[in-house]
Chains A and B, each alone.
Chain A
Amino acid sequence: MLGRVLKEKLFLAAVFILAFLTVLPLFHIVFSITARGLPVLYKGGVEFLTGTLPPPGDGLGGIAPAIIGTFVLVFLTSIVGLPVALLTGIYAAEYPNSLIGRAVKVLLQIMVEFPTILVGLFIMQVLVIPMGSYSALAGAFALAIIMMPYVAVYTEEALREIPFTYREAAFSLGLSRFKVVFMVLVRIAKKGILTGVLIGMAKVAGETAPLLFTAGGANRVYFAGIDKPVGAIPLLIYNLVQQPYENYHEIAWGAAFILMLVFLAIFIPIRLSLKEVKL
C-alpha cells in the first residue's frame, strides 16, 4: 500500500523534473539573448534600428536593412504563399478521400519536414540563376515553400475538427458547397486557421538556410526593390558571428534580441487576443 503511494509520488516527481528540463533551454535562450542583446540595443540607441552596418571595429551602427528585409520577406512570402496554402488546406479537408486530397496530405507532411537548405538550392536553380541576381522575390518564394505546408496543415486540421453537425446544418439551409465552406466552416475554424498563418509567419521570419542562396543579404542599403538582394535578421546574425570583429559580435547579439522580439510579437497574439469560437 505504502509502496504504491511512494511509487506514484516518485513517478510524479520524475515527470515534473523531465518536463522542467524540456523547457529549460527555452528559458535559457530567452534569458541569455536578453542579457546580451538588450545592452547592445541600449548602447546603440535608436540608430541601432535605423542605421546601417558600420565598418569592422567602428561602433554599432544599425541593422535597419535586415529588419526591413525581414518584414519585406514575410510580407512577400504571405502574398505568394497564403492563398495557395489556405486553398490547399480547405481542399484537403473537403475532399479527404479523393486521390488528390490524400496525396496532398502526405506531401504536406513531407514538406513540413523537408530540409530547408534544399528549398534554397531549388529556388536558386529556378529563379536566382535565370534572373542573374539574388533577390527579395527569390527569398520570398523559398520561404513560401516553407510556410505553405504549415498553413495548409493547420487549416486542414482546424476544418476537420468542426463537428459534422454544423456541416449538416449548413447544407440543410440550402447553401451551396462553396457557401457552406466559406460562409460557415472556414469562419468557425477561424482561430485554428489564423494560428496556422501566424505560426507560418513566425517560422519564416526566423529562417536562415533557405535565404543563403536566394535573398543574398544587404547590410548597407535599406531596400532596393523586390528584384534586388535583400537582408534578413537571421541572415545577418549568421554572417556577423563568422566575422572576427568584436563589434560585429555585439551587433549579432542585438540583432538576435530584435529577432526574438519579432518572433514573440507574432506568437503572443496567438495565445492572447484571438477571439475563440465557442462550440
Chain B
Amino acid sequence: MSAIETIDLNIYYGSNHVIKNFNLEIPENVVFAIMGPSGCGKSTLLRSFNRLLELNENARVEGDIRLYGESIYKMNPIEVRKRIGMVFQMPNPFPHMSIYDNVALGVKMNKLVESREELDERVEWALKKAALWDEVKDRLDENPSALSGGQQQRLVIARALAMKPKVLLMDEPTANLDPLATEKIEDLIYELKREYTIVIVTHSPAQAARVSDYVAFLYLGRLIEVGKTEDMFERPEEELTENYLTGRIG
C-alpha cells in the first residue's frame, strides 16, 4: 500500500492554478524526492499532504489525498499532522522554549505520553534518532538559539520525530545549511528511511540523486515524470526532464 497517494489533485491560489491534475503514489519506507525549479509548486504540493495548506486562506484543493488508503479530508487535520511530521526550509525551533521543551511540546500537547518519565524518555529517544543527543544532552535547558543552523535543523527533526509519525515531510531542509551540515542531514535521512516514509522537496537534482529512491519532477505546476531515481537520472523519458537534469533549464 502507498504511504501517500494523490488522486486527480488540483490546487489553486485564487485563480492561479498551481498544481495541475496530479496522480502520484509514494511507496512506504522510501525517500521520495520532489524536485523542480523555483515556483513549480513543490512546497505547495508538500503542504497539501499534511493539510498545512489550509493556513493559506486563498488555497483551494480539489481531488483527494490518501494516507495509507484513508482520505485525509475525512480525517481531523490534527490527526493528519500527528501522523505526518514536517521539517521546514528555515531551521525554526521555537525561540522562546528550551531545547527540551521544543522536542516535548507536540508530545505533551497531544497527550502522547502518560508521565514525566515517559516524556523524558521520548525526548531522549527523538534527539538520539535525530543524531543530536550527544551534542545537547548536557544543555537541554538552553535556548535553541545557542545551536548552529545544522543543529537547529536536527532539533526540529527531533521535534517532528518525537510525535512518532509515519511520514516525514521535508521542505528543502538543507537550503540554509553549509555543506558539512547538509551532509549530516542527508546521512540522517538515509538512516531514517528504514522506519519512515520521507518526502523531501529539493531544487537541487544533485541532492535528489544523492538521497532519494524515487523522484518526481515538477515543472510549472505539472508532474512531468516520476519514477525510480536511478532510472530517471540514467534514462529520463521526457525531454524536459533531461533538460532539467543537464542544467539547460531551471
Q: Is chain B found bound to chain A in the same assembly? A: yes
Q: Is the CB of A174 within 8 A of B92?
A: no
Q: How far is B156's CA from A170's CA once the two chains are assembled, in angstroms?
A: 11
Q: How far is B88's CA from A97's CA once the two chains are assembled, in angstroms?
A: 26
Q: Is the CB of A171 within 8 A of B81?
A: yes
Q: Which residues of B contact A (CB under 8 A)?
A: 50, 52, 55, 57, 78-79, 81-82, 85-86, 88-90, 92, 94-97, 105-106, 109-110, 143, 145, 156, 159-160, 163
Q: How far is B175's CA from A165's CA once the two chains are assembled, in angstroms?
A: 15
Q: Is the CB of A279 within 8 A of B90?
A: no
15 more A-B residue pairs beyond the given contacts A174-B82, A175-B78, A188-B94, with a C-beta to C-beta distance below 8 A: A97-B57, A163-B90, A165-B89, A165-B90, A166-B94, A168-B86, A168-B88, A169-B86, A169-B88, A172-B86, A173-B160, A174-B79, A174-B81, A184-B105, A187-B97
Known: A165-B90, A166-B94, A278-B143. A173 touches B163 (CB 8 A): yes
List the B side residues contacting A174 at CB < 8 Å: 78-79, 81-82, 106, 109-110, 163
> Is A190 positioned at the interface, with any CB of B under 8 Å from its CB?
yes
CB of A52 to closest CB in B, whole Å: 47
List the A side residues contacting B79 at CB < 8 Å: 174
Q: Is the CB of A190 within 8 A of B88?
A: no
Closest to A169 in B: B92
> Is A9 positioned at the interface, with any CB of B under 8 Å from its CB?
no
Q: How far is B97's CA from A165's CA once the two chains are assembled, in angstroms?
A: 16
Which of A166, A169, A277 has the most B CB atoms < 10 Å from its CB?
Answer: A169
Q: Is the CB of A165 within 8 A of B88?
A: yes
> Is A167 positioned at the interface, with any CB of B under 8 Å from its CB?
yes
Closest to A279 in B: B95
Q: Is the CB of B109 within 8 A of A175?
A: yes
Q: Is the CB of A183 within 8 A of B52?
A: no
CB of A232 to closest CB in B, whole Å: 36
CB of B107 to closest CB in A, whole Å: 9
Q: Is the CB of A190 within 8 A of B156?
A: no
Q: How far is B82's CA from A117's CA once the two chains are assembled, in angstroms?
A: 54
List the A side residues contacting B145 at CB < 8 Å: 278
Known: A165-B90, A183-B105. A172 touches B95 (CB 8 A): no
User: How many residues on A have C-beta within 8 angstroms of the other chain's C-beta atoms?
Assistant: 23
Known: A174-B110, A179-B109, A187-B96. A168 touches B90 (CB 8 A): no
Offer 15 A-B interface pairs, CB within 8 angstroms, sorted by A. A97-B57, A166-B92, A166-B94, A168-B52, A171-B52, A171-B81, A172-B85, A173-B81, A173-B110, A174-B81, A174-B106, A184-B105, A187-B96, A188-B94, A188-B95
List the A side residues contacting B159 at CB < 8 Å: 169, 173
Contact with B along A167-204 (1 / 0, CB 8 A): 11111111110010001100110100000000000000
Q: Is the CB of B94 within 8 A of A278?
A: no
Q: How far is B145's CA from A158's CA once the two chains are assembled, in angstroms?
A: 20
Q: How far is B55's CA from A184's CA once the two chains are assembled, in angstroms?
A: 16
Q: Is the CB of B143 within 8 A of A172?
A: no
Known: A169-B88, A173-B159, A175-B109. A184 touches B94 (CB 8 A): yes
Q: How far is B146's CA from A216's CA once the two chains are assembled, in angstroms?
A: 54
List the A side residues contacting B96 at CB < 8 Å: 187-188, 190, 277
CB of A193 to closest CB in B, whole Å: 12
List the A side residues contacting B110 at CB < 8 Å: 173-175
List the B side residues contacting A169 at CB < 8 Å: 86, 88, 92, 94, 156, 159
List the A side residues contacting B97 at CB < 8 Å: 187
Shortest beta-carbon contacts, A-B, top 10? A173-B106, A172-B86, A174-B82, A174-B81, A278-B145, A165-B92, A277-B96, A174-B78, A187-B96, A169-B92
Query: Which of B55, B89, B94, B95 is A171 in contact with, Cβ under 8 Å?
Result: B55
Q: How far is B159's CA from A97's CA once the two chains are assembled, in angstroms?
A: 31
